[in-house]
Amino acid sequence: MTTIGVEEEFLLLDPVTGLPVPQADKVRVAAGLGHLVADQEVQYELLQAQVEVATPVCGALEEIGGHLLRLRHAVGVAAEEHGCRIAACGTPPVRHGRPVAVTDQARYRAMVTQAPQLVAEQLVNGMHVHVAVPGREEGVQVLNRLRVWLPTLTAMSANSPLWDSHDTGFASWRTVIFSRWPVSGVPPHFHDVADYDQRVQRLLESGLISDTGQLYWQARLSDRYPTLEVRCPDVQLRVDDAVMLAGIVRALVDTALTEVAAGAPALECAPELLQASMWHAARHGLGGTLVDPIGRPRRAGDVLYELLRYVAPALDVSGDTRQVTSLTHRLLQDGTGADRQRAALAEGGLRAVTDLISAQSGMT
């Protein structure tokens, strides 16, 4: 079974005002003092109102779900000890008028110099799925096949409709915010791993990025692990939605590896069409149409069913078919995190949104 790991980023919010609060250092230390968290499972993020958790390497989706619940509980308890709550949302519903403090690390200080306003508005939280690949060459060939599905994954995971106390009109405003960095969006097609490495090296030598951590493509090869990392999803309100996405991403990687072994070509999609498809997915989520991997506008539900058909053999092999398909059907019925945030906003205003986020961030 292909191994997998998940990283989740959370905001720290004041329970009364809903505003982001710079308590990350204290929360990290408090979480580490308990018996539920191992070293490196709770990590720094760019801004002091954010924390990140990372699961161990896992085999079964049940392991992923168990670790995410454990980590959310540990960080949530630590946050409560310091007068705040964790929020598993892609953007804060309410923001300070002034910037949140940046974590005191050389890399983050350099980013402030490079792009101060972007850093000030980087209060965004994602979910990153790492899937093991046999080697970097295979990883690049998987990237080439996975990229056409990134808009669909973005639509499924949309959980950031609000910004500065109002509805942005986008299901994933986080996607729009991230698209402003120099190297972002859907990764290009690469001929092979040598092409990948050469193009990354040129970006570094140009000074346009200071390190490979600033490759903000929505999927990339990991520098730290022998994995391919899919970065397009917003962090999920509910753990089981995160598990669903992790299962789909693993199945996409396994399906692509099978195609690579068989010599099947990657689907071609013009870069401008793929970029526009990503914008459309961020704008509408699952609320209308999606552009499928060959460029046709279709009902969002039809594209999701096509995705499930495409990865069905891989889901069968990993034993994930029942869990992933049932959660996907529930997603189509209940809506995305963005849909649920908007429903709360319509029913009870911003307070209802922050209550929803606080209530669901530690739940299945």
pLDDT confidence of residue 34: 66
pLDDT confidence of residue 104: 87
Q: Count of H helices and E strands in the chain?
A: 13, 13
3-class DSSP assignment, residue 363: coil
- Measure CA 203 to chain center: 24
> What distance in Å separates the CA atoms of residue 203 and residue 179, rounded to the nearest whole number?
17
Cβ-based burial of 313 (10 A; exposed 0-12, middle 13-18, buried ≥19): middle
Angle at 290 between CA 278 and CA 174, to 5 degrees: 35
Handedness of CA 336, 275, 162, 235 (dihedral sign): positive
Tell me the whole-structure pTM to 2 decimals: 0.96
- Tens digit of each residue's pLDDT (9 = 90 or more) over 329-351: 999 999 999 999 999 999 999 99
Place of tokens 């949104």: 353
pLDDT confidence of residue 152: 98
pLDDT confidence of residue 40: 81
pLDDT confidence of residue 27: 94
Please, which residues bridge with residue 217 across strands? Answer: 185
- Per CATH, the architecture of 4-360 is what? 2-Layer Sandwich (3.30)
What are the residue ranges spanned by the domains of the chain?
4-360
Phi, psi torsion values for 162, nearest 5 degrees: -110, 150
CA distances from 186 to 147, 178, 273, 304 (A): 6, 11, 11, 19
> What distance in Å separates the CA atoms of residue 175 and residue 270, rounded to the nearest whole number?
20
The residue ranges of the chain whose pLDDT is under 70 are 34-36, 39, 362-364
pLDDT confidence of residue 49: 95
- What is the token pair recorded at 49? 């109102």
